[in-house]
Amino acid sequence: MAISTNLLGLEYVITMAKQRTGLDDFGDDSFRAPLKILLEALVEQADLNEAGIQGQSERIIEILCQRLLAQSFFDKYPDILNEEILNPVVIVGLPRTGTTMLHRTLGSDQRFYTPIWFETRFPSPPIDWDFTGEDPRLEAAKAEILGMLDANPELAAMHPFDAEAADEEIMLLEQSFYSSVPEAFCNIPDYANWVDSHDNTPGYQYLYRVLQFLQWQKKRKGQEGRRWLLKAPHHMHHLDLLLATFPGVKVVQTHRDPLETIPSFTSLNYGLWKLNTDNPDAQAVADIWCAKFSRSMRRAIGIRDQHPDCFFDVNYKDTTRNADGVLESIYKFIDMEFTDGAKAGIEKWRDKNRRDDRAAHEYSSEQFGYTEDFLKAEFKDYRHRYGFE
């Protein structure tokens, strides 16, 4: 416990971030309240092993370093905050419904800006980088993924980790400590309850700011996209904030029967818990994530009914049976031409990223105490609304 109290102490992580960067301005202080709750929960509830203590401490310190570096960029280049995030396209849905595949497929169209995995983990480059040559953040990102897969090789079958591929902006939300990322790594109910019961507007406001920062960076590197293509199942918990933060947003929601998706997603998070504790509780993982998404999917139905023109539905089975037809419908919905260049980029991406090239994801519903009747009851409204009954 002495080790955890030290490495996961509020003053310790703040001091370490300042020492590493030589900076002391974090910008606004909205991150401090959730950070304090997170650190306390990690110490008191997560049952972290030594690797977990060190890993979570290092992750938090790195996030704080990124905030310090970002603020130094905002101070040095105030025009960053003049960047406009216009009419973004955001993919949402239950986890394991094909959101990653759809995101990376569409993201091969160079007219889109997409957040790359290394950018979501390290949104701030060194302050003195001239934006030419290989990005200095890549090495750290590749090393982090390699470390995760070495610690638990099963993760490679669960998600296509790639430091240079498009990925979820939920890790950009993590920069504000308003996200469910920490819950994916360990059992911290006090932190989860705090985030669920508090207004997450500061997190989404900081997400917008970081996307402005990344857009400014991409332009300096010579990229000229028209609009952002984002994706995160996490947004299902906060659809109202997503719509309020990004005026003109077009939301593509993917659908698949929760009887298939929830056990799969639980297995992924169970694999992440194994990285941080010697006693991962399969039933706790199941209870936490099933309850979180069943609650959010019910709430999302009401929000969607208030903004019907903002949403387009994609059934997972259609993405496997008629992938090109689905893409054509999405381009029509977002009012973009499905050009020959876009089609060529998509085909090139598909050839290099076939699901059969990765091992199958092995898991069972019974492993997590799920029964068909239980999942049907938990997701009754969602399954009825989208035809899975």
| Chain segment 352-362, per-residue pLDDT in tens | 887 655 566 67
∠ CA 181-300-85 to the nearest 5 degrees? Answer: 65
pLDDT > 50? residue 1: no
pLDDT grade for 366, boundaries at 50, 70 and 90: confident
Tokens of 343: 């089609």
Q: Are 124 and 70 in contact (CB under 8 A)?
A: yes
Instruction: Kindly report the number of other CB atoms within 10 A of residue 27's CB atom.
Output: 15
Q: Which whole number is the average pLDDT over 78-85? A: 98
Long-range Cβ contacts of 302-311 (<8 Å, 24+ apart): 303/239, 303/240, 303/243, 304/239, 304/253, 307/243, 310/243, 310/249, 310/250, 310/251, 311/251, 311/252, 311/253
Burial (Cβ within 10 Å: 0-12, 13-18, ≥19) of residue 209: buried
Give me the residues paired with residue 254 across strands: 93, 314
Most confident of 10-14, 145-149, 352-356: 10-14
In one letter, which amino acid is 353?
N
pLDDT > 90? residue 140: yes
Give me the pLDDT at residue 270, please: 93
pLDDT grade for 152, boundaries at 50, 70 and 90: confident
pLDDT > 70? residue 5: no
Domain covering 84-385: architecture: 3-Layer(aba) Sandwich (3.40)
Give me the pLDDT at residue 113, please: 98
pLDDT > 50? residue 388: yes
Cβ neighbors of 222 (< 8 A, separation 6 or more) are none
Domain range list for the chain? 84-385
pLDDT > 90? residue 29: yes
Give me the residues paired with residue 231 across strands: 91
Q: What DSSP character marks residue 230?
A: E
Mind listing the pLDDT tens digit for each residue in 166-199? 999 999 999 999 999 999 999 999 999 999 999 9
Helices within 84-137 (DSSP H only)? 99-107, 117-121
Give me the pLDDT at residue 359, please: 64
Q: Which whole number is the average pLDDT over 212-230? A: 96
pLDDT grade for 320, boundaries at 50, 70 and 90: confident
Helices within 159-225 (DSSP H only)? 170-173, 181-185, 189-197, 201-220
Give me the pLDDT at residue 357, please: 59
Q: From the DSSP assignment, how many helices (H) and strands (E) are in the chain?
A: 20, 5
Q: Which whole number is the average pLDDT over 22-34? A: 97
End-to-end CA distance of the chain: give it in Å, rounded.
Answer: 49
Please provide the average confidence, as pLDDT, over all residues in the chain: 94
pLDDT grade for 2, boundaries at 50, 70 and 90: very low
H, E, C per residue of 280-336: CCHHHHHHHHHHHHHHHHHHHHHHHHHCHHHEEEEEHHHHHHCHHHHHHHHHHHCCC
∠ CA 156-120-317 to the nearest 5 degrees? Answer: 50
pLDDT grade for 156, boundaries at 50, 70 and 90: confident
Burial (Cβ within 10 Å: 0-12, 13-18, ≥19) of residue 360: exposed
Cβ neighbors of 149 (< 8 A, separation 6 or more) are 155, 156, 161
User: Taking the model in full, what pTM does it have?
Assistant: 0.94
Of residues 160 and 282, more confidence is placed in 282
Q: Which whole number is the average pLDDT over 156-174? A: 90
Q: Are 48 and 277 in contact (CB under 8 A)?
A: yes
Give me the pLDDT at residue 148, please: 87
pLDDT > 90? residue 263: yes
Q: Which whole number is the average pLDDT over 238-264? A: 96
Find tokens 């023109």 and name the residue: 309
pLDDT > 50? residue 92: yes
pLDDT > 60? residue 4: no
Q: Which whole number is the average pLDDT over 223-235? A: 96
Mind listing the pLDDT tens digit for each residue in 267-298? 999 999 999 999 999 999 999 999 999 999 99
Pick from 256, 284, 291, 290: nearest CA to 270? 284
How many C-alpha atoms does 308 have within 13 Å on its Cβ side?
1
